[in-house]
Amino acid sequence: MNETLKEILKIFVSWTKLKVRIHLSERVVYPKVRGIWWASLGQNIGVETNGKNNKFERPYVTNQINQ
C-alpha cells in the first residue's frame, strides 16, 4: 500500500471511532433555528472541506428543526 492510501485510511479509521463514540453518547443537544453550531461532520469524500482538529469539526447553520 502506498503512503497516501495509508494516511487516508488512518484518518478514516480515526473518524469512524469518533463517530461511534458520538452516536453512543447520552448527550442531548437542542439547536435553535439560525443558530451557528460546531459539529463533528467527519472526514469527507470528494471536494468538500474536511472537518478540523481531532474531532473533525466544522461550523454549520441550523435552517430548520423538524420535530
Q: What is the rounded CA–CA span in Å between residue 51 and residue 30?
A: 22
Q: What is the rounded CA–CA span in Å between residue 52 and residue 54?
A: 7
pTM given for the model: 0.64
Domain boundaries, the chain: 3-61
pLDDT of residue 55: 79
What is the average pLDDT score of the chain?
81
Q: Could you give the 3-state DSSP secondary structure of residue 15?
A: helix
Structural element, H or E, at residue 6: helix 3-24
Short-list 19, 9, 13, CA closest to 42 = 19
Q: Could you give the 3-state DSSP secondary structure of residue 8?
A: helix
Residue 12 has pLDDT above 80, yes or no: yes
Residue 67 has pLDDT above 70, yes or no: no
Residue 20 has pLDDT above 90, yes or no: yes
